[in-house]
Structure 1
Amino acid sequence: MSEHTAQISIRHGLWCLYVALMGVPVSQWPEHCFGRAVQVPTVDERSRALAELGFVFTDGAEWEWTEYSETPEDDTSPVRLLASIKVRSLDGGAP
């Protein structure tokens, strides 16, 4: 069973969830945008979006939130949020 990392962050002004697939160009990673920027998508919304993309959470996986500066080394830079979680494909194999 192959594990991948799913992440959610604000992209192009909207919350977007994507699955990072090593060895695959970023432009081909499965992605779902939620159509809003203010309210963080719920865990249920994220789970349903992942299922639509063909993935599920791995057993016991939890979302881990990280904040980072838009401009590294600049304490006055806007803060961005990024969450990640381990996932696997719905069929248990590689996507």
Structure 2
Amino acid sequence: MTARTLRAQLSEREGRWRLYVVLPGQSSEPWPEFTFGAQVPTFTDRVNALSVLGFEPLPDAPWEWIEDSEDPDDPDDPASPVVLIASTDVRSWSGAGS
């Protein structure tokens, strides 16, 4: 059985970076999440956090960074603070118990 591909995202909120795995269709339980400090997590930090959550990046999957607006009511406002979001494709870790 092959693990399905999911999307992991990294974003900063209130001075802390958080890494979470998006689980489509799962609204009753929180998504798997790992919280870092204020410094942007390194590639190794992100891979290690994914491992703790039971996931691994797909081989050669790049981390893609996008810029979003802090203000969801007016995302086109050029004066709105910027939010950086990184994402990559992941799968369940083959050594995980789930």
TM norm. shorter chain > 0.5? yes
Structure 2 residue 63 is matched with structure 1 residue 77:
no
How far 1:26 sits from its partner (Å)?
7.1
The residue matched to 2:83 in structure 1 has which SS?
strand
Larger Rg: 2
What is the match of residue 44 of structure 1? 44
TM-score (structure 1 length as normaliser): 0.88
Deviation of the 1:23 alpha carbon: 1.2
Residue 33 of structure 1: aligned partner? 35
Q: Alpha-carbon deviation of 1:27?
A: 4.6
Q: Which residue of the partner structure matches residue 87 of structure 1? A: 90
User: Which amino acid in 1 is paired with 2:49?
Assistant: A
Stretches of structure 1 lacking an aligned partner (at least 5 in a row): none
Identity, in percent, stands at 49
CA-atom RMSD, angstroms? Answer: 1.9
After superposing on structure 2, the runs of 4+ consecutive aligned residues of structure 1 that deviate more than 4 Å are none
Paired residues in the alignment total: 92
- Specify the SS of the correspondent of 2:21: strand
Gaps of 5+ in 2: none
Partner of 2:13: 11
TM-score by length of 2: 0.85
Secondary structure, aligned partner of 1:61: coil
